[in-house]
């Protein structure tokens, strides 16, 4: 319960943290089932909060999806987020408004956005003039 007070956790995260503290596996499973039953733990709530947090950090959909899957979450919704605008905002904040004419500079900016988890469509759109 103390782990859930600070922030939402997925079932896998809770299981890993409790296993590290050397609790019995049967006790861990029973405790997590009880938390789910009483609606203290919800993977859907965790996913929504996690997506919102990562979006605000400037992460793209590929990175967010990979991070959620690593935490055992397969069902999540990214449709309410404008990753096109976010990619452009991140690029402008880091490199300035001007679209690079030099291939080397453009490739550098593309790699940066790719490392943030944006797909090629988002990246290419971020270079288009308004």
For residues 38 and 12, membership in a common domain is answered with yes
Question: Which token pair is 103?
Answer: 């291939």
Q: Is residue 78 part of a domain?
A: no
Length of the chain: 130
For residues 40 and 96, membership in a common domain is answered with no
Angle at 82 (CA atoms; ends 58, 128), nearest 5 degrees? 90
The DSSP output letter for 21 is T
The DSSP output letter for 57 is T
Q: Is residue 76 part of a domain?
A: no
For residues 61 and 17, membership in a common domain is answered with yes
Alpha-carbon gap, residue 88 to 101, rounded angstroms: 16
Question: Which token pair is 34?
Answer: 């009880």
Residue-range definition of the domain harbouring residue 93: 83-126
Angle at 19 (CA atoms; ends 1, 52), nearest 5 degrees? 55
For residues 51 and 6, membership in a common domain is answered with yes
Give phi and psi for 117, each to the nearest 5: 100, 20
pTM for the whole structure = 0.86
Boundary residue ending a domain (70, 92, 118): 70
Report pLDDT digits (tens) over 9-52: 999 999 999 899 888 999 999 999 998 999 989 999 999 999 99
Report pLDDT digits (tens) over 38-96: 998 999 999 999 999 999 999 999 999 999 999 999 999 999 999 999 999 999 999 99
For residues 53 and 7, membership in a common domain is answered with yes
Q: What is the CATH number of the domain that holds 106?
A: 1.10.10
| Total domains in the fold of the chain | 2
CA distances, 82 to each of 59, 61, 63 (Å): 12, 10, 15
Q: Is residue 97 part of a domain?
A: yes
Q: Is residue 6 part of a domain?
A: yes
């Amino acid at each position: 319960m103390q782990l859930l007070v600070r922030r939402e956790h997925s079932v896998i995260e809770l299981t890993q943290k409790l296993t590290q503290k050397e609790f019995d596996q049967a006790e861990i499973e029973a405790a997590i089932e009880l938390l789910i039953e009483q609606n203290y733990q919800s993977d859907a709530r965790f996913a929504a909060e996690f997506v919102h947090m990562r979006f605000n950090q400037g992460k793209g959909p590929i990175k967010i999806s990979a991070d959620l899957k690593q935490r055992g979450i397969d069902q999540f919704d990214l449709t309410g987020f404008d990753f096109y605008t976010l990619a452009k905002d991140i690029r402008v904040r880091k490199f300035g408004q001007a679209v690079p004419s030099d291939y080397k500079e453009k490739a550098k900016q593309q790699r940066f956005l790719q490392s943030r988890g944006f797909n090629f469509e988002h990246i290419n759109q971020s270079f288009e003039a308004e």
